[in-house]
Amino acid sequence: MRIKLFKTNLTEIQKICLAGLFMALAVILQKVVAVNYIPALPFVRVSFCGPALIIFASILLGPIYGALVGIASDLLGYLIFDPRTYPPFLQITAIYFVLGFVSYFVFSLVRSINNRKLMLGIEVGTLAAIWIAAFLFLLLNANVELVFKIVVPIVSALLFIGLILFSVLFKGKEESQLMSPLQICFASFICDFFILLLFGSFMKACAFGFSLFVTIFLCQAIVMFVNVVLDTFFITTFQKFTKKYFVEAK
């Protein structure tokens, strides 16, 4: 299997300018248009398209620029909004560094996969297992309020079903797509599962204490349902407007 690396015709000046734009937008999306630092769950961050923007920066500008966008967006967001409220969590910054760097290679690899049944089977099976685990945790945990036991499983299930339907049924013009929605969904799922869920839970446990690891992991798992939906929708949209900048690797 030949891996289809992303190549663009952007100059270094253009990449630097776009990286600065992505950094500024990511700060806004991850600190302003986001749910951050809930008092009872300070490790939860629900960002509306923040991770998607970092991922797309990696695809469009390359892994080095993607990593810089990930680092800078988190550090600048902290320096602008949180310096007097919370201590810096460099462990969380490391999560976004890895997300910006690794996403380029994950999406390049998935771009070379055309087995729809394999991608769909792995994604549906894993997300279903995570949903069941999160549902049981909420159901059996006496400290969780009844409203959350009802609302969270229903909302996450609807997001899960909507995500799969969008990935499978969405049809776009072939010439306007670098990757199909299903490929984007699968690549986003891989990034979210391994980087934000597994690696992210470990790094946040380093910051907030390993006694909270199970809670952090399950909260990250629930957030993943939102992230994968947003990543799939926005990256599918972004690629339509930037396809002219991509060139086939020789």
Q: Tell me the chain's radius of gyration from C-alpha atoms.
A: 18
* Mean pLDDT over each residue of the chain, to the nearest integer: 84
Is 147 contained in some domain? yes
Count of the separate structural domains present in the chain = 1
- Which neighbouring-strand residues pair with 208? none
Per-residue pLDDT tens for 175-193? 456 888 889 989 999 999 9
* pLDDT confidence tier of residue 124, bands split at 50, 70 and 90: confident
Instruction: Give residue 85's Cα distance to chain centre.
Output: 26
Instruction: Give the span between the Cα atoms of 221 and 134, in whole angstroms.
Output: 7
The CATH number assigned to the domain holding 141 equals 1.10.1760.20
Q: What is the pLDDT of residue 84?
A: 59
Q: What is the pLDDT of residue 9?
A: 93
Instruction: Give residue 122's Cα distance to chain centre.
Output: 17
Per-residue pLDDT tens for 18-65? 999 999 998 888 877 766 656 556 667 777 778 999 999 999 999 999
When pLDDT is averaged across residues 100-117 and rounded to a whole number, the result is 92
Q: Which domain covers residue 165, as residue numbers?
A: 7-247
- Which neighbouring-strand residues pair with 45? 36
Instruction: Give residue 174's Cα distance to chain centre.
Output: 25
The phi and psi torsions of 33 (rounded to 5 degrees) equal -90, 65
Is 1 contained in some domain? no
Q: What is the pLDDT of residue 150?
A: 84
Is 2 contained in some domain? no
Which residue from 125, 127, 128, 143 is spatially nearest to 214, judged by alpha carbons? 143
Assigned token pair, 54 = 């970092």
Q: Side-chain half-sphere of 97: how many Cα atoms within 13 Å? A: 9
**What sign does the dihedral 77-80-86-88 (CA atoms) show?**
positive
**What torsion, rounded to 10 degrees, do the Cα atoms 185, 186, 190, 192 define?**
20
Is 47 contained in some domain? yes
Q: Please, which residues have CB within 8 angstroms of residue 237's CB and are 6 or more apart in sequence? A: none
Residue 2 DSSP class: -
> In the predicted model, is pLDDT for residue 172 greater than 80?
no
Considering the chain, what percentage of its residues have pLDDT values greater than 90?
Answer: 30
Is 78 contained in some domain? yes
> In the predicted model, is pLDDT for residue 173 greater than 70?
no
